[in-house]
Structure 1
């Protein structure tokens, strides 16, 4: 297993959070700097239900009615994308029941979600060793619904030769 990298500065040989094991830090200074954000979700990991199936991935739901993110399991369909010299395997989340809205203006029902892959921590200035996917309702600004986002990370290389 590769050594853990610090959530804040990307330094290797970091130690994982003793409570949730979802974040890792190289120093107490980095841990303290991340605490205002990390404390919001840290305890949620300890009460998270078991993974329903291998096809479920862990995600953060940023609900419209709360400022606190929720940890949820999202069922994903395994997909493979072949490029000229490599193949990627990834899970496409089923966001239908999660990002749907009952209060949508007529004519906007059934619109799709927008997907934004994030591969770099721009704020901290380093590339991630995985891709974080952000999903949101594509038409939330004009269809009468509230913004609702789903964040999850899962993008694995099957073959990099």
Structure 2
């Protein structure tokens, strides 16, 4: 088992990384099967691109994100830069999403960030 790796589904610290992409981790076959329909969409991309442009982070403030473009059928991986909010008590990095919030031929579609309060797969209902 990897040290400090938590299960993608239940959060257990007793998890092993996906052998193909190394991006998700599971503590059991049940958790792996629960996540498979979602994970399979990006598993191959993670493994292919880990060797290419996603192998190294552009800067310490960049984070790898899953982008679901409105004009495409499949999600993709993108590096998203972040800005630190100096007024937060805990460090929080706000994503810079402007380049992702345009649809070709249309204007800026805007942003609507919201915090996810729960996760039914992990047994944490919304509050």
The structure, 1 or 2, with the larger RCO (C-alpha pairs under 8 Å, 6+ apart) is 1
Which residue number in structure 2 is paired with residue 88 of structure 1? 90
Q: How many pairs does the alignment contain?
A: 119
Q: Cα offset for 1:13?
A: 0.9
C-alpha offsets along residues 31-86 of structure 1, whole Å, 9 cap, x if unaligned?
A: 1221121111012122141211112111111011223111100111122334xxxx
Q: Give, in whole Å, the separation in 2 of the partners of 1:123 and 1:31.
A: 12
Residue 80 of structure 1 contacts residue 88 of structure 1 at CA under 8 Å; is this kept in 2?
no
Which of the two has greater strand per residue?
1
* Alignment-derived partner of residue 70 in structure 1: 76
Matched, 1:99 2:112: no
Gaps spanning 5+ residues in structure 2: where? none
The alignment's TM-score, normalised by the length of structure 2, stands at 0.77
SS at match of 1:45: helix
Match of 1:126 in 2: 124
Q: What are the residue-to-residue correspondences of 1:1-161 with 2, within 5 Å?
A: 3-46=4-47, 47-48=49-50, 49=53, 50-82=56-88, 87-104=89-106, 112-126=110-124
Moved more, 54-63 or 111-120: 111-120
Q: Structure 1 unaligned runs (5+)?
A: 128-161
Q: Which has the larger helix fraction?
A: 2
Contact 1:10/1:126 (<8 A) preserved: no
Secondary structure of the corresponding residue to residue 114 of structure 1: coil
- Cα distance in 1 for partners of 2:110, 2:71 equals 21
